[in-house]
């Protein structure tokens, strides 16, 4: 796969790139009082699973300081710190070390893994949710609302992926190319990125809020005891889809976009 083929070069490039910037993504200490959720997950991807267990948003709502979120939600800060440190003590597989990846490698990975996943699963979600709404909607109006929200999410995500693949990602690839060649391309400007990045972040936020509404509507994707198999599969798939979307948005919001913005700054 392309993202594996160039991995060694990309890691070397990422190391050079990282060392030239003020944020050291790889070796940041965990400080729950002063760091945001996004900063910690950005530096240590594996902490995402711990935050997810505690119901702490690490993608769209990741800009809040961890200690503030814990106080608001009544989470024991010391316990959370212990669990985060625990997860970091486990050996890291190289392919999980996203914070060290260059923008180009991140884009290749996001397209091949997450965009492909979204395009594979959306038709299934649409099909199952329509079927469940048709068969069970009379006694459970929530599944009718759910089918509408899934349809809205599908429309939004399809358009969103297109924009990233046709406009934003090719532009970031151009930045990487210019950086490699040591040139300040006339087409490169930090202004070119500011608006698209803000627009993509806003769309992530909206998709995340739709998923959150669906989670609330379905009591955390819990089907009734008497639910048929399609209903059960629909909720399992939705939960899996939410998890994938969180990881996808995290890679873009917290890693790719800041790296692309730093790259544009370095080239101006």
Q: Which is nearer to Fe ion, 13 or 164 (CB)?
A: 164
* CA pair distance 218, 212, nearest whole angstrom: 10
* CA pair distance 146, 123, nearest whole angstrom: 15
Query: Is residue 96 packed enough to be buried (19+ CB in 10 Å), middle (13-18) or exposed (0-12)?
Result: exposed
* CA pair distance 224, 227, nearest whole angstrom: 5
Q: Which is nearer to Fe ion, 46 or 206 (CB)?
A: 206
CA-wise closest residue to 20 among 253, 267, 266: 266
In the complex, minimum distance from the CB of residue 62 to Fe ion, in angstroms, rounded to a whole number: 14
In the complex, minimum distance from the CB of residue 111 to Fe ion, in angstroms, rounded to a whole number: 8
- Interface residues toward Fe ion, by CB under 5 A: 164, 252
Q: Which is nearer to Fe ion, 66 or 200 (CB)?
A: 200
Q: Which residue has the tokens 């965990």?
A: 30
* CA pair distance 122, 120, nearest whole angstrom: 6
* CA pair distance 137, 144, nearest whole angstrom: 6
In the complex, minimum distance from the CB of residue 157 to Fe ion, in angstroms, rounded to a whole number: 9
In the complex, minimum distance from the CB of residue 110 to Fe ion, in angstroms, rounded to a whole number: 5
Q: Which is nearer to Fe ion, 65 or 192 (CB)?
A: 192
Q: Which is nearer to Fe ion, 124 or 159 (CB)?
A: 159
In the complex, minimum distance from the CB of residue 52 to Fe ion, in angstroms, rounded to a whole number: 19
In the complex, minimum distance from the CB of residue 82 to Fe ion, in angstroms, rounded to a whole number: 33
Q: Which is nearer to Fe ion, 57 or 252 (CB)?
A: 252
* Alpha carbon distance, N-terminus to C-terminus of the chain: 32
Phi-psi region of 175 (alpha: psi -120 to 50; beta: other; left: phi over 0): alpha
């Amino acid at each position: 796969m392309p993202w594996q083929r160039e991995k060694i070069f990309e890691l070397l490039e990422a190391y050079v790139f990282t060392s030239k910037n003020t944020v050291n993504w790889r070796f940041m200490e965990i400080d729950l009082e002063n760091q945001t959720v996004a900063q910690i997950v950005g530096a240590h991807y594996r902490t995402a699973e711990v935050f997810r267990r505690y119901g702490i948003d690490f993608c769209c709502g990741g800009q809040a300081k961890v200690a503030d979120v814990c106080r608001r939600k009544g989470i024991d800060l010391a316990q959370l710190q212990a669990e985060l440190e625990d997860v970091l003590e486990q050996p890291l597989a190289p392919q999980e070390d996203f914070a060290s990846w260059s923008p180009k490698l991140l884009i290749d990975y996001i397209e091949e893994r997450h965009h492909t996943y979204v395009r594979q699963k959306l038709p299934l979600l649409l099909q199952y949710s329509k079927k469940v709404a048709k068969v069970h909607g009379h006694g459970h109006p929530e599944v009718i609302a759910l089918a509408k929200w899934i349809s809205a999410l599908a429309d939004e995500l399809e358009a969103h992926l297109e924009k990233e693949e046709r406009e934003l990602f090719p532009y970031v690839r151009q930045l990487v190319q210019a950086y490699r060649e040591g040139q300040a391309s006339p087409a490169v400007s930090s202004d070119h990125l500011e608006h698209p990045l803000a627009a993509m972040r806003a769309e992530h936020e909206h998709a995340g809020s739709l998923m959150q509404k669906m989670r609330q509507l379905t009591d955390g994707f819990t089907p009734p005891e008497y639910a048929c198999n399609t209903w059960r599969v629909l909720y399992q798939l939705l939960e899996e889809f939410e998890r994938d979307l969180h990881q996808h948005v995290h890679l873009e919001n917290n890693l790719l976009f800041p790296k692309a913005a730093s790259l544009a700054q370095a080239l101006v």
